[in-house]
């Protein structure tokens, strides 16, 4: 289950990262469940939120949870793709090494 997160994080420049996430809405609680690899070999961060997938509520909860875990403001996290899918790609503005360290720490808890 645990995989090096580098496969899920793709650095675009020195100021942001792109993160692949697999979201479980109605998950009972808001939590980061660790790194995993899909059947296609792609690595992603498993995240669950308590909000339902209704009118973007789960996506908003996801962005808030990732922002808190990465130590950045909510406005620094945006959804690039996967608005209605379970797999999503997020853009997180900030120092890539710092973001990666904080997400790895949150995934390990």
What pTM value is reported for the model?
0.88
Compute the distance between CA of residue 67 and CA of residue 86 in angstroms, rounded to an integer.
18
The residue with tokens 């790194």 is 35
Q: Which pLDDT tens digit goes with each residue over 21-66? A: 999 999 999 999 999 998 888 889 999 999 999 999 999 999 999 9
Spatial contact of 22 and 86, defined as CB atoms under 8 Å apart: yes
Spatial contact of 44 and 22, defined as CB atoms under 8 Å apart: yes
Structure tokens at 57: 């509520």
Q: Which pLDDT tens digit goes with each residue over 72-86? A: 999 999 999 999 999
């Amino acid at each position: 289950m645990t995989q090096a997160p580098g496969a899920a994080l793709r650095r675009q420049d020195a100021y942001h990262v792109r993160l692949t996430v697999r979201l479980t809405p109605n998950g009972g609680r808001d939590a980061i469940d660790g790194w995993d690899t899909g059947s296609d070999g792609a690595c992603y961060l498993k995240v669950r939120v308590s909000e339902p997938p209704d009118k973007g509520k789960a996506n908003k909860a996801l962005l808030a949870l990732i922002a808190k875990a990465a130590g950045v403001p909510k406005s620094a996290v945006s959804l690039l793709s996967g608005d209605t899918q379970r797999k999503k790609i997020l853009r997180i503005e900030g120092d890539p090494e710092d973001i990666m360290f904080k997400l790895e720490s949150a995934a390990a808890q």
